[in-house]
Amino acid sequence: MEESQSQTQLTAVDGPDGVETDDGDRPAWDSKIQYVLAQVGFSVGLGNVWRFPYLCHQNGGGAFMLLYVFLLLVVGVPLFFMELAAGQSIRQGSIGVWKHISPKLGGIGYSSCMVCFYMALYYNVIIAWSLFYMGNSFRYPLPWEQCPTDVASNGTVKECAGSSPTSYFWFRKALNITNSIEESGGFNAVMTGCLLASWAIVSLAMIKGIKSSAKVMYFSSVFPYVVLFIFLIRGLLLDGAVEGITYMFYPKLEIWGNLQVWRQAATQVFFALGLGYGSVIAYSSYNPVHNNCHRDALMVSCINFMTSVLASLVVFVVLGFRAKNIALRCVAEYGCVCMSVHASSVTIDEYRQWYQHYSSMVGPKITDCSLEQEMNKGVEGTGLAFIAFTEVMAFFPASPFWSTLFFLMLLNLGLSTMFGTMQGILTPLMDNFSLLGRHRTLLTMSICAVGFLLGLLFTQCSGNYFVTMFDDYSATLPLIIVVIFETISVAWVYGTDRFLDDIEVMLKWRPPVVYKYLWKYVCLLSMVTLLAASLLRMIFKRPTYTAWNQSTASEMTLEYPGWALVMIIMLILFASLPVPVGYIHSFVKNRRVRSTPSQDEVGQEMCRELYTKCSSTEQLDSHSHRVPSEEDEVHPRPVFLSVSNEHYQLLSQQEDDDEEQDTRV
């Protein structure tokens, strides 16, 4: 597709009925700091705390960070800047922005809304888990510090003795989990109540739009940073912190040759910035037109990355302390037996040297108590937050205080992302449907109520398996597809030169021309490659999930049953179908409109609109003295069309665009 296929100008604003509207009554941020906190709060989420550190842990530490920064600069920042500029210029939600560029692209916005709704369903469940753990953190001692006693046998509960107190509390007390996704196990009443509370918090914060949610952002976006710095200072004082940080930053450059690592790094960049959800567009649409969105893109991206590094430092310090404690307990258990000395007098290095010499003479149950081996056991997601961290905090003095602080941080990280997700649903719907826009409170309450009812799927005893399913498959492919079509819309349908022209009007300076080539080629090719890699991985590697086996008190990997695979496919299709459906609907509608009038009427209309015949020199003179409009200044690409044998009429860009639209050039 060529740039000339653009059907509209980006600086115009169409209302729900396709007419130009005045957005003077559109809500706006009270201050720039509110907007920045909202964007940072949405983009910095739970993934920064438990996903990014795990990827660094598994993929070469410092080498993965360098790869991440490279992809962030050449793919992440340009796409983030593109969404910010589009939302700020058109001042609409995701549906209105892409429909404004071309009616055939309206389905992109609907796909974004669908993915946001998927995310809201399971993300609020994680917030409910944080509420549950925060409530239990006020107990002393913490309920996950020790294994409970079995009343029947008057001994330790077998499931807890076979795993650990933190694992037992998570899988049995919190989730009461079943052995597989095929066993429902009924509803977890406590988690259902926590889910209701989390949806109530979200609805109250969103009920007045950005006016209410922005005030909450002052706390929910800033508080996690305070807690992370507190944990970092506390963690640096722990035994094993240095080993953890060394493990984190030690680069393994050979991972750059692994295509799987590139895929994971690109996916993390993609999700860390919140691309494709429509929330970035929604937030930027409430900005003043001349706000410096380029600076915002660089600033938010930088804050996002530095937050990931800060969270990784905290995680690796804690994991280093945990690994050293496990290694010391191992030495205490086997050192006094095998080396015939008191365990407290044996160091880890001394024990490992002894083990290297006599390992062939001892039984298979005796291990080498390796600190590196414990560090190599990667922990991510809920396992990191609700098992590994809770285990470490049990060793801290005043453990309930540290536990409350940590889960309050998780709660605020989840809520700030949840507010952005809800804004990605509400703003496009209210902008595109005037009836919904007039009843914001009712719309917000209705979406929250539906979200709670559908969220009951995740409060079953098997609900954790459905959370994993939604997290792994409901958003990844649809979001990549959405961003691919967003890039095509701007770079090839509207045209990068025209897009940069509009940004120049907003910023009063023109962004570097490198963005033109990044949008047209680098970003688009990267997204298509990521989509192909993700599809191939799903095709050749059957989807699996990690289940908890109660009898063996251990985790195991299971394949999804047939009905679950169908459910995964339907989730992906429902989120992706609005893009082609919107295109087909617009195409059919246009054909119907074109086929209605007769050919003579069409010809007369084209002649009347496209050509202005100059019958006298005075007409040309009067036209040449016309005061140029702002539209002419924004798009000064004139096109000469022949109107007679002697004269030529200079047409404005808008007339040129009308010709292209009517003649389908």
CB within 8 A of 625, min separation 6: which ones?
Answer: none
The alpha helices in 360-495, defined as continuous H runs, are: 371-375, 381-383, 389-393, 399-432, 434-438, 440-455, 463-469, 476-488
CA torsion through residues 269, 528, 533, 475, sign: positive
Task: Assign 125 a pLDDT band (cuts: 50, 70, 90).
Answer: very high
Residue-level pLDDT at 322? 83
Q: What is the pLDDT of residue 257?
A: 81
CB-CB contact of 398 with 423 (8 Å): no
- Single-letter amino acid, residue 403: S
The three-state (H, E, C) secondary structure of 242-267, written as one string: HHHHHHHHCCCHHHHHCHHHHHHHHH
**Which tops the pLDDT comparison, 112 or 20?**
112
pLDDT band at 641, cuts 50/70/90? very low
**What's the confidence (pLDDT) of residue 218?**
85
pLDDT in tens, 274-299: 999 999 999 999 999 899 999 999 99
Q: How far is CA 304 from the centre of its chain?
A: 12
Of the candidate ranges 221-235, 388-402, 451-465, 608-622, the one whose mean pLDDT is the lowest? 608-622
Question: How is residue 383 written in tokens?
Answer: 């396992």
3-state SS string over 481-547?
HHHHHHHHHHHHHHHHHHHHHHHHHHHCCCCCCHHHHHHHHHHHHHHHHHHHHHHHHHHHCCCEEEE
pLDDT greater than 50 at residue 171: yes
Q: Is the pLDDT of residue 339 over 60?
A: no
Give the residue-averaged pLDDT of 634-660: 39
> Does residue 6 have a pLDDT over 50?
no
Question: What local confidence, expressed as pLDDT, does residue 448 receive?
Answer: 95
pLDDT of 334: 64
pLDDT at 492: 92
| Residue 660 confidence (pLDDT) | 39
Q: In which band, very low, low, confident or very high, does the pLDDT at 61 lie, cut at 50, 70 and 90?
A: confident
Least confident of 235-249, 456-470, 507-521, 616-630: 616-630
Angstrom distance (rounded) from CA 12 to CA 187:
51
Distance between CA atoms of residues 223 and 217, nearest Å: 9
Mean pLDDT of 387-400: 86
Q: In whole angstroms, how large is the CA radius of gyration of the chain? A: 29
For range 124-144, the mean pLDDT: 93
Angle between helices 562-576 and 476-488 (to 10 degrees): 20
Strand partners, 155: 150
- Examine the pLDDT at 238 and tell me if it is beyond 50: yes
Going by C-alpha positions, the residue among 305, 277, 545 that lies closest to residue 425 is 277
Q: Look at 229-233, 326-330, 391-395, 521-525 and tell me which has the smallest mean pLDDT.
A: 326-330
Bridge partner residues of 312 (DSSP) = none
- Residue 44 counted as an annotated binding residue: yes
Residue 384 has pLDDT above 90, yes or no: no
Structure tokens at 313: 């430092």
Residue 541: which pLDDT band, with cuts at 50, 70 and 90? confident
pLDDT number for residue 243: 81
pLDDT at 435 over 70: yes
Note whether 233 and 313 are within 8 A (CB).
no
More confident residue, 347 or 259: 259
Structural domain boundaries in the chain = 3-324+378-587, 602-663
Query: Whole-angstrom Cα distance, residue 584 to residue 104?
Result: 8
User: Which is higher by pLDDT, 480 or 632?
Assistant: 480
Cα 660 to the center of its chain, rounded Å? 38
Specify the CATH number for 3-324+378-587; select among 1.10.4160, 1.10.287, 2.60.40, 3.40.210: 1.10.4160
Q: CA-CA distance, 408 to 130, in Å (whole number)?
A: 8
Q: Is 566 annotated as a binding residue?
A: no
Separation between Cα atoms, residue 6 and residue 8, nearest integer Å: 6
* Beta bridge partners of residue 187, listed in sequence order: 460
* Cα–Cα distance, 39 to 293 (Å, whole number): 12
Q: Residue 91 above 50 pLDDT?
A: yes
Q: Single out the residue of 38, 40, 34, 483 nearest to residue 299, CA to CA.
A: 40
- Supply the pLDDT for residue 164: 87
- Alpha carbon 408 to chain centroid distance? 21
- Selection from 181, 68, 17, 4 nearest residue 546 by Cα: 181
Q: Is the pLDDT of residue 596 over 70?
A: no
- CA 119 vs CA 183, 232, 476: distances in Å: 24, 30, 11
Rounded to whole angstroms, the Cα distance separating 321 from 113 reads 42
Sign of CA dihedral 583, 585, 586, 592: positive
Look at residues 458, 465, 427 and name the one whose alpha carbon lies nearest to residue 443.
427
Identify whether 141 is preceded by a cis peptide bond (ω within 30 of 0): yes
pLDDT given for residue 379 in this prediction = 65
Average pLDDT over residues 565-580: 93
Is pLDDT of 301 > 90? yes
Q: How confident is the model at residue 60 (pLDDT cuts 50, 70, 90)?
A: confident
User: Which of residues 635 and 250 earns the better pLDDT score?
Assistant: 250
- Is there a binding annotation on residue 287? no
pLDDT at 9: 52
SS (H, E, C) 248-317: HHCCCHHHHHCHHHHHHHHHHHHHHCCCCCCHHHHHHCCCCCCCCHHHHHHHHHHHHHHHHHHHHHHHHH
Q: Please name the amino acid found at residue 639.
A: V
Q: What is the pLDDT of residue 54?
A: 83
Instruction: Write down the pTM of the prediction.
Output: 0.81
Residue type, 53: P
pLDDT band at 518 (very low <50, low <70, confident <90, very high): very high
Stronger pLDDT, 12 or 214, i.e. the higher one:
214
Is residue 328 within 8 A of residue 244, CB to CB? The reply is: no
Between residues 6 and 276, the one the model is more confident about: 276
Dmax over CA atoms of the chain, in Å, equals 114
Tell which wins on pLDDT, 17 or 367.
367
Distance CA 648, CA 658 (A): 18
> What are φ and ψ of residue 544, in 5° steps?
-130, 165
- Give the C-alpha separation, 68 to 70, whole Å: 5
Tens of pLDDT, residue by residue over 179-221, are 999 998 889 999 999 999 999 999 998 887 777 777 788 888 8
Percent of the chain at pLDDT above 70? 78
Read off the DSSP letter of residue 2: -
Window from 9-13, 139-143, 352-356 with minimum mean pLDDT: 9-13
Average predicted confidence (pLDDT) for the chain: 81
304 is in an annotated binding site: yes
Residues linked to residue 559 through DSSP beta bridges, in sequence order: 544
Choice between 547 and 344, residue whose per-residue pLDDT is larger: 547
